[in-house]
Structure 1
Amino acid sequence: MTDDQQVLDGHGVAAALLDDWRILMGALHARFRTGSFAKGFAFVERIAAEADKADHHPDIDLRYGFVHIRSTSHDAGGVTERDVRLARVISELADGLGLTPETAKLQVVEVGLDSADAAEVKPFWAAVLGLSDSAKHDDELVDPDGLLPTLWFQETDRHDPPRQRFHFDVRVPPEQAEARIRAAIEAGGTLVSDDRAPRFWVLSDAQGNKACITTWLGRDGDHV
């Protein structure tokens, strides 16, 4: 196995002395304060040019005041020397533009769901959220595109359905709602209520955990 295929752990990344970067959930992350959208766009353009040269392409999130970069080697299943080399180049580009790294604001969110039988409800949540089985962990569902957080199932004793204190609202285009609901029911779920459709439908998995499929229809103002 070459260095470009060897997956680095936290110690390996720390040894690379990447001041602007942190390893979070199997990927290198950095965030740079740009101060303007135009400067952020210029930064992204330079990153894209260097990524093409290296034939190694990170995920980039351009916002008004900052740019967030996530780099991982998908074929290796984690961070490799390819990511380290690209990270160094990106940091040099940021320094050349006078951008400020914001390591204190880096974070990755995962969602954990207590379950006495993960296999019983996992297909439901894959259908509701449009997630896929993790290639590494049987107790996880992941978004291959990296837009949604990972959902993992924590083992617990079987119990009556709890009074939920939070749940997922999944906003989809109106024309996709019926297919998403059908997929969730076919995956072992139950339609609890369609009283407020097409604003939202309430669904439940086989263990009583609820989620809502929602659309913009029937909503006004800021809630569309």
Structure 2
Amino acid sequence: MTKLTGPEITERAPRGWVYLRNALRTRLRTGDFATGLALVNTIGTAAEAANHHPDLDLRYTYVDVRLRSHDVHGVTERDLRLAATISELADSVEVTADGNDLTVLELGLDSPTFPAQVDFWEAVLGYPRDADGDLLDPYAKVPLIWFQKSGSEEPRQRWHPDLWVDPSEVQPRIDRALAAGGTLVSDADAPSYWVLADPEGNRVCLCTWQGRE
């Protein structure tokens, strides 16, 4: 299977699915636990038949779904097919697929002594390194941690969060951040990411899939 590009994925993804951090995702708003459990079992049967298995997170009123082809580290045709099947199964029990407010949080460490810091954090956290040298929880329960070299005189915090959002969510979040007293530090790398800062100067990046292919 060939890894698809961001435009290919977003053009063909079923309604209610979003492309975030190399995976296709949605939230199935079941409304109650029993409906969610039954839907998870139905999805499981379909996944077994397709020999392609999503990550499912069952909660009281919703089920989060993540699709990714691990052999190519991205989204392929098989993910789009299974997403379409899952949407049909959800529609059949009147469950809405809505991924617009889904986000993915990562932590970046800016360090003038990179990559010397990586060994320490790998030892403390116990995460294996992925193909990009980032530290990744194998169970995907806590944020991925990545590292980059910075200058030694920069007046900013060294840890900063990266928040992956759907492109449609960027401007509303920027507007709310500015209204809350924040500032837009830079949009020079938009639409890949925008840099915001809180009133004390602590920074966060809003990231999308755009401009990365």
**Fold agreement, TM-score > 0.5:** yes
Find out whether 1:10 has 2:1 as its counterpart.
no
Written as runs of structure 1 = structure 2, the 5 A alignment for 1:1-224 is 5-135=1-131, 137-138=132-133, 140-158=134-152
> How far did 1:130 drift?
2.0
In structure 1, stretches of 5+ residues that fail to align are 167-224
> How far did 1:141 drift?
1.5
Deviations 1:112-155 (Å, cap 9, x if unpaired)? 111112221101111222212121x23x2212322221111132
AA of the residue aligned to 1:98: E
Deviations 1:54-90 (Å, cap 9, x if unpaired)? 0000100000010000010001111000100000000
**What TM-score does the superposition give when structure 2 sets the normalisation length?**
0.70
AA of the residue aligned to 1:46: T
Matched-pair contact (CA < 8 Å) for 2:27–2:62: yes
Equivalent residue of 2:24, what SS? strand
C-alpha change, 1:75 and 1:17, in structure 2 (3 Å) is closer
Structure index of larger Rg: 1
Distance 1:118 1:131 in 2: 18
Equivalent residue of 2:72, what SS? coil
Equivalent residue of 1:70, what SS? strand
> How far did 1:165 drift?
8.7
C-alpha change, 1:13 and 1:142, in structure 2 (3 Å) is same
AA of the residue aligned to 1:144: P
Q: Give the root-mean-square deviation of aligned CA atoms.
A: 2.3
Distance 1:70 1:122 in 2: 28
In structure 2, stretches of 5+ residues that fail to align are 161-213
Distance 1:87 1:42 in 2: 17
**What TM-score does the superposition give when structure 1 sets the normalisation length?**
0.66
Distance 1:144 1:26 in 2: 15
Q: Name the count of aligned residue pairs.
A: 161
Equivalent residue of 2:147, what SS? strand
Equivalent residue of 2:46, what SS? helix
Structure 1 residue ranges (4+ consecutive) displaced by more than 6 angstroms after TM superposition: 162-166
Percent of aligned pairs with the same residue? 43
- Which structure has more relative contact order (CA 8 Å, sep 6+)? It is 2
Distance 1:131 1:118 in 2: 18
AA of the residue aligned to 2:142: L
Distance 2:125 2:135 in 1: 9
> How far did 1:159 drift?
5.4
AA of the residue aligned to 2:152: R
Distance 2:122 2:109 in 1: 13
